[in-house]
Homo-oligomer: A and B are copies of this chain.
Amino acid sequence: MSHMKATIRSVSVELFFKKGYFATSISDIANGCGIQKASIYHHYASKEDLLFSILKGTMDDLTDCLKTSLAGSDDVEQQMRAAVRSHVRFHLERQKETFIANSELRGLTSEHHKIIVQKRSEYERVFQNLIQEGGEKGVFAEGDVKILSYAILTLCTAGATWFKPDGRLSIDEIAAIYDGFIISGLKQSA
C-alpha cells in the first residue's frame, strides 16, 4: 500500500468515526489529505470501496487476533477469558475502526455487506462454541447460547462507543472488569 493510499485510509477512518460515513464527503477526505478529490479515485474505485476496504481489513485483523489468543490453552474457561480479553482489547485499541465496523454497515453494497456479515458470523461462532462447550462440561450454567454470545460481544463492542483513550482506566483494567463480569454471568450463581 502506497504512502498516499494509507493516508487516505487513516484520514477516512478519522472522519467516518467523527462525522459518520454519509456525512463525510470525498472532498472532506481529500481536504484532510491535502490533495484534490479526483486523486482519491486513483487509489480507490469509489467511496464505498474505501469503506469496504477499511471494514474488511479490520474484520480480518480482529479474527486473527482472536485465533492467536485462543492458541495458548485448551481449557474452556481460560479460553473464554482469553477470548473476552482479546475482544475488548482489540475494540479499545482500534476503537475508531471497530466503531465504524459496527455502525456503518449500511453504507455497503449488498455483496460487500454479505461478506462482512459472514465474517462476523464466523467470529461469533467461536464464542458460541465456547459457551456451548462450557455448558456441556458444567463449567458454565446452561443457557441460551445465542443470546449469551450476543450479550458478551455487544457488551465489549459497545466499549468502543464510550471509551476515552486518556481516561481513568487503562485498556487492560477495563478488559479485566469485563472478564470478571462475564465469567460471573456465565456461571450464573444468581
> B-contacting residues of A (Cβ < 8 Å)?
19-20, 22-23, 103, 106, 143-144, 147-148, 150-151, 154-155, 157-159, 161-162, 169, 174, 177-178, 180-185, 187-190
Return the contact of A185 from the options B20, B144, B181 (Cβ within 8 A): B181
Interface residue from B159, B169, B174, B189 paired with A184 (Cβ < 8 Å): B189
A150 to B162, CA, bound (A): 8
Residue among A157, A181, A184 having the largest count of chain B Cβ atoms under 10 Å: A181
Task: Check if B181 sits within 8 Å of A151, measured CB to CB.
Answer: yes
Q: Kindly list chain B residues whose C-beta atoms are within 8 Å of the C-beta of A183.
A: 190
Q: Select from chain B the residue with minimum beta-carbon distance to A81.
A: B190
Asked if B188 contacts A187 (CB within 8 A), the reply is no
In the complex the two chains form, is A20's CB within 8 Å of B181's CB?
Answer: no
Which of A19, A151, A183 is packed against the most chain B CB atoms within 10 Å?
A151
Whether the Cβ atoms of B178 and A151 lie closer than 8 Å is yes
Least Cβ distance of A152 to chain B in Å?
Answer: 9
Contacts of A187 in B (CB 8 A): 184, 189-190
CB of A147 within 8 A of CB of B177, answer yes
Asked if residues A158 and B147 are in contact (CB atoms below 8 Å), the reply is: no
Chain B residues contacting A19 (CB-CB under 8 Å) are 106
Decide if A144 touches B189 in the complex (CB within 8 Å). no
Q: How far is the CB of A23 from chain B (nearest CB, A)?
A: 6
Decide: B161 and A147 in contact? CB cutoff 8 A: no
